[in-house]
């Protein structure tokens, strides 16, 4: 069995990788367990030294790693380098803050002493996607390793080069041999790995079906899981919004990484009185995004990562148009090499269409008309997903109230677009998954929250 990386910009093979055998996977798990038994007792200062070195390696080699990302999954080079920089920042953040996040918390009880400790769980399996091939891994690995755990990575098969590069970063940074290991296996073998008794927990970022399968396997083995799944993020544009600002930020969110982001602006829900003006502004913004070679510095829109993804996106666009949506821009697969797709704008979208109901993983913006604010909120929440959402309004207090109390999502923002930040918890509700990554919430997902108290009780 082999795994192949193909450059989506031209369809040419980059490299073929041999899969790890069952024996090699078992050996990797065995080594991870042994490394964990030593690492869990290491001083936090030592862990932090290694993690800071990892951050330094990422920063020093950001051009090289960025180019690897661009070639394996098509991300424009500036965005790819920014992903490496963000990954380095996360490593540095957990190196600097793990001590605080993991410090025992004293609790006043009737006992002579009571406190809560945060102890590592063991070997954590991470099943990660291709769309942010470094960032998705680092935001799991940095907190997990700083907490004293070991990590095994099953990455998407089309970014095997990135997966091996990340492993090499941790080795070069001085982490113990075997503590973090990439497993080159296909998705059919994940269930057996999850069920291995030596695996303590699993985290997955990916599709709903993949999350359901991994969660089921973890549940059957009574193991903790964290899932970050798809999104169909609603961006509400109210009639009192700064429309040029809203259009610019909605398009920036929608087009980042060629629209291949779980937290991209997917459904632009606009009050009817300003819809035509907003449509015009969005169309003007989208016109600046011309699909081009992702390795060129000025490219804003690269190819989709795989041919099957483009085929599915075209099906969703065609079906929505057949049901009454209007295509104002793009909407057709271009001729030529590579899996490019043009910046596309659909309007007159209604709640029965794929453009509303499904996650469109590509550079397609969809505008939905709402008669008023209450209807806009209802449409936003009319989704199986609940990852991110945004509201644009000049009335900040009203917008904050809507974001805080009325939108159903794990992250809600006002007059900006949704992004993950190492300082804040990230994750979803509904079919967008459960659990949280980043901040102190993320590092505490894969620890034993242990209660300790000393008797006898106070007299």
Contact 413, 435 (CB under 8 A): no
* Contacts of residue 168, Cβ cutoff 8 Å, sequence gap at least 6: none
Alpha helical stretches, state H, 75-220:
77-102, 135-146, 160-172, 190-195, 208-220
Residues carrying an active site annotation: 228, 262
Dihedral sign for Cα 84, 90, 93, 98, please.
Answer: negative
Contact 183, 30 (CB under 8 A): no
- DSSP annotation of 31: H
DSSP class per residue in 197-236:
TTEEEEEEES-HHHHHHHHHHHHHTT-EEEEE-----EEE
Phi then psi for residue 292, to 5 deg, are: -155, 175
Phi then psi for residue 37, to 5 deg, are: -60, -30
DSSP class per residue in 254-294:
HHGGGG--TTS--EEEEEGGGHHHHHHHHHHHHTT--B--T
| Lookup: tokens for 72 | 């394996």
3-state DSSP assignment of residue 458: coil
Contact 366, 386 (CB under 8 A): no
Please count the CA atoms within 13 angstroms of the CA of 44 that sit on its side-chain side.
17
Contact 426, 271 (CB under 8 A): no
CA distance 219 to 128: 19
| Lookup: tokens for 373 | 């604010």
* Contacts of residue 362, Cβ cutoff 8 Å, sequence gap at least 6: 258, 259, 260, 304, 309, 310, 313, 341, 344
Instruction: Compute CA distances 122 → 75, 182, 201, 410, 441, whole Å.
Output: 34, 16, 8, 27, 18
Phi then psi for residue 248, to 5 deg, are: -65, -45
CA distance 42 to 36: 10
Cis geometry, peptide bond prior to residue 456 (ω within 30 degrees of 0): yes
* Contacts of residue 288, Cβ cutoff 8 Å, sequence gap at least 6: 300
């Amino acid at each position: 069995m082999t795994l192949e990386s193909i450059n989506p910009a031209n369809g040419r093979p980059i490299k073929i990788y041999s899969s790890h055998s069952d024996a090699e996977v078992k050996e990797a798990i065995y080594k991870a367990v042994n490394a964990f038994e030593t690492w869990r007792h290491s001083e936090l200062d030592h862990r932090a030294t290694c993690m800071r070195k990892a951050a330094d390696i990422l920063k020093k080699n950001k051009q090289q790693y960025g180019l690897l990302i661009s070639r394996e999954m098509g991300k424009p080079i500036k965005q790819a380098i920014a992903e490496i920089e963000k990954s380095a920042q996360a490593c540095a953040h957990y190196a600097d803050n793990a001590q605080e996040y993991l410090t025992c918390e004293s609790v006043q009880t009737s006992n002579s002493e009571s406190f809560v400790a945060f102890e590592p769980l063991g070997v954590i399996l991470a099943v990660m996607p291709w769309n942010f091939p470094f960032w998705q891994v680092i935001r799991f690995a940095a907190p997990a390793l700083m907490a004293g755990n070991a990590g095994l990575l099953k990455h998407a098969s089309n970014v095997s080069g990135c997966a091996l590069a990340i492993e090499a970063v941790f080795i070069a940074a001085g982490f113990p041999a075997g503590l973090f290991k990439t497993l080159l296996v296909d998705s059919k073998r994940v269930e057996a790995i999850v069920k291995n008794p030596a695996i303590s927990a699993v985290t997955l970022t990916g599709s709903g079906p993949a999350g359901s399968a991994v969660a089921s396997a973890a549940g059957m083995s009574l193991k903790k899981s964290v899932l970050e799944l798809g999104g169909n993020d609603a961006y509400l544009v109210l009639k009192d919004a700064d429309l040029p600002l809203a259009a610019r930020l909605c398009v920036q969110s929608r087009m980042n990484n060629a629209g291949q982001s779980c937290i991209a602006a997917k459904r632009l829900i606009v009050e009817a009185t300003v819809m035509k003006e907003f449509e015009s502004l969005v169309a003007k913004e989208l016109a600046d995004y011309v699909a081009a070679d992702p390795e060129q510095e000025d490219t804003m829109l690269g190819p989709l990562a795989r041919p099957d993804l483009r085929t599915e996106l075209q099906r969703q666009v065609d079906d929505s148009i057949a049901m009454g949506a209007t295509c104002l821009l793009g909407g057709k697969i271009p001729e030529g090499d590579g899996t490019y797709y043009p910046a596309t704008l659909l309007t007159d979208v209604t709640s029965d269409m794929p453009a509303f109901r499904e996650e469109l993983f590509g550079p397609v913006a969809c505008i939905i008309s709402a008669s008023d604010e209450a209807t806009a909120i209802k449409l936003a929440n009319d989704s199986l997903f609940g990852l991110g959402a945004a509201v644009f309004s000049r009335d900040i207090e009203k917008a904050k109230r809507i974001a805080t109390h009325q939108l159903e999502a794990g992250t809600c923002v006002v007059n900006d677009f949704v992004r993950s930040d190492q300082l804040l918890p990230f994750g979803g509700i509904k079919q967008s998954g459960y659990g949280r990554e980043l901040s102190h919430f993320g590092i505490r997902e894969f620890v034993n929250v242990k209660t300790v108290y000393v008797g006898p009780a106070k007299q």
